Amino acid sequence: MTRARETGPTRRVWRGAGLRWDLPEDPRDLDHLLVDARGAAMKLTEFLASAETDAILVAHRGKIVYERYFHGMRPHDVHLSASVAKSWTGLLAALLIDEGMLDADRPLAHYAPELGGTAFGDASIHHLLHMGTVMNYGGRPFYKPLEAQRYFAAVGIVPRPAGYTGPTSVKEHLATAQAVAPPGTEFRYDNGNTEAVAEALRRVTGVSLAELWSERVWARLGADEDGAYCLDSTGTEIACGRYSATLRDLARVGEMLRRGGTVGDRQIVPERVVADLANVPPGPARRALPTGAVRPIGYHNFWWVPDDGHGTFGARGIHGQRLQVSPGRALVIAHYGSHVMSPSVPVPPLEAVFAQIGDHLAG
């Protein structure tokens, strides 16, 4: 999880030439906080060990109150954020929609004509941003875990089997998607939706996703380190889940959003764009069910929205990658993990524990 830049091609996301944004610290002893993890009471440190946490940072009212690193990870190390990266693409899309550069009601094929006639090409940007494309690949029945592995093979994340003759890039993969129902009739979480939106962003701006994310957010954030996107065989960023950053830089994105898009006296993201992130539109995205969840939550512009009364929205990735922003609790939690995904290993209830941390800090 911390070696992506050493195991394959990546593209730098420049941190910019500005000064680092230092978040003040107000350490709190949360190690011994008792939390309820699906009926089992344990100390927070015990829960983090069971969740295979690599690093966690809790910021409350703009101050870092808790920060821990495990498994050899250090503050300056970058870590894969998995599908947390989807939310970066969603935020960029929301920015360009707000500016009128991207039309949410137009189909992807308007921006990428070569994908016309495919499930993603014929879906609107709005439907893509809400995982509303109801598709299969190559005529196969859709089964999410298997299709995720096929996608990883296509873009080179995992080894391809002997005799493999399938797609070998992001765009080739997208071209194999066939619609099986009209867009917007079902919530179907799939990496292709994010890759499709990322392609639209490249077309309307004329720059790579890495350059766009740096220009609009990363280089204006006061980040500690450069970020990095992993690339496919054609040099295209893997937008859906191969972004690496330090823990503090992940938290900086969250704190910027909690503050309504500001860093100091600079408006990085318009406040109206941030406020809209928790406004899930009518439709199937109001009943999204992430892995390990016990009840549906909302999904908007590639952000998860639990409707918990605190205006919370968050980014989630496999193996325990999380960024939770809870304006009503004045809370931001960034979390990296290496939790095993297996039918025999329950997904750690990270969000439930984060809520308990927030309640404790609120007193």
Which of 130, 144, 243, 285 lies closest to 196, judged by CA?
Answer: 130
Mean pLDDT of 217-231: 98
Provide the pLDDT confidence category of residue 294 given band limits of 50, 70 and 90: low
Provide the pLDDT confidence category of residue 344 given band limits of 50, 70 and 90: confident
Q: By mean pLDDT, which of 88-97, 109-118, 156-165, 273-282 is the weakest?
A: 156-165
Answer yes or no: is pLDDT of 34 > 80. yes
Which of 325, 261, 314 lies closest to 290, judged by CA?
Answer: 314
Contact yes or no for 223/252 (Cβ under 8 A): yes
Mean pLDDT of 267-276: 98
Which of 70, 79, 73, 57 lies closest to 357, judged by CA?
Answer: 57
Distances (CA, A) of 156 to 141, 150, 195: 23, 10, 15
Provide the pLDDT confidence category of residue 7 given band limits of 50, 70 and 90: confident
pLDDT score for 292:
66
User: So where are the chain's domains?
Assistant: 4-362
Answer yes or no: is pLDDT of 46 > 70. yes
Provide the pLDDT confidence category of residue 77 given band limits of 50, 70 and 90: very high
Q: For 102-153, how does the pLDDT look when each residue is reduced to its tens digit (9 = 90+)?
A: 999 999 999 999 999 999 999 999 999 999 999 999 899 999 888 999 999 9
Q: Where are the alpha helices (DSSP H) in the chain?
A: 4-7, 44-50, 84-99, 125-129, 144-155, 170-174, 191-205, 209-216, 247-258, 271-276, 350-362
190 vs 59: CA distance, rounded Å:
31
187 vs 241: CA distance, rounded Å:
19
CB burial of residue 344 (10 Å; 0-12, 13-18, 19+): exposed
Provide the pLDDT confidence category of residue 5 given band limits of 50, 70 and 90: confident
Which of 346, 256, 317, 334 lies closest to 69, judged by CA?
Answer: 334
CB burial of residue 342 (10 Å; 0-12, 13-18, 19+): exposed
Contact yes or no for 23/255 (Cβ under 8 A): yes
pLDDT score for 289:
80
Count CB-CB contacts under 10 A for residue 109.
Answer: 18
Angle at 333 between CA 270 and CA 149, to 5 degrees: 90
If one looks up domain 4-362 in CATH, what number appears?
Answer: 3.40.710.10
Contact yes or no for 248/336 (Cβ under 8 A): no
Amino acid at 186: E
Mean pLDDT of 66-91: 97
pTM of the model: 0.96
Q: What is the dihedral of CA 94, 318, 199, 162, to 10 degrees?
A: -170
166 vs 29: CA distance, rounded Å:
52
